[in-house]
Amino acid sequence: MAKSYQRSLLIGLLTLAPLFGACDQADISGVTEVPTIAPAPRVKSVAIVSRVTHATSGTVVSEWLTNGKSATLQIGKYRLDVPRGAVKKPTIFVMTVLTGEMIGVRLLAFDKDWNRVTEFGTPLQLTLPYDEADQAEIGNPGKLLFANVASEIDTTILELLNTQLDRDNQTITGTLYHFSVWSLAKELSPAID
């Protein structure tokens, strides 16, 4: 009975997830030591990378996690690694692969009382594929970044993160400190005068 109630609550929550807003920053008012964040790359111009091949779009995966446990949420090449110590109380992590042209995910986390979790004790690792994009559009995969965008339909870039390239698997991986909508982006080459 409890599992059926939790499942119904999760389905309702995932249905309403797009209404929660574009980006939640972590509340660090009670944190005494703020993690050192690598500065975002200095780029003159950035563009969101568009999907040209079909992906496992719209698929949702979730997992409950308690302190001392780690988890990996994965859909194809889309992957979220949650290390031990990321949360101190039971938390459900939800990863949704975006539909449409944007190559990205919507990430959410909630505690057992369905309060939004926005602060993590340990950074998380996100991996996105770039083989779903037109390779001519990508150009140099070494210039791929993660972009925190306003929403699935508003591609206003709020934040950029450095990534690590895996040419063999055609993926990039980056370190996250908060959840939101994350998309694949590329640094544009400067215009030649």
More confident residue, 186 or 55: 186
Report the helix count and the strand count for the chain, using DSSP H and E.
Answer: 2, 12
Per-residue CA distances from 10 to 20, 91, 92, 115 (Å) = 14, 12, 10, 13
More reliable by pLDDT, 29 or 86: 86
Question: Cβ–Cβ contacts within 10 Å for residue 35, how many?
Answer: 12
- Number of structural domains found in the chain: 1
Domain ranges, residue 120: 44-187
The percent of residues in the chain predicted with pLDDT above 70, rounded, is 72
Half-sphere exposure of 54 (CA within 13 A, CB side): 0
Residue 182 in domain: yes
The answer as to whether 29 is a domain residue is: no
How much is the pLDDT for 35? 45
Residue 128, domain CATH = 2.60.220.30
Kindly report, residue by residue over 5-16, the tens digit of the pLDDT: 454 444 444 444
Q: Does any domain span residue 109?
A: yes
Radius of gyration of the chain, Cα coordinates, nearest whole angstrom: 17
* pLDDT given at position 153: 86
pTM across the whole model: 0.73
What share of the chain has pLDDT > 90, as a percent?
A: 45
Looking at residue 11, the DSSP 8-state letter turns out to be H
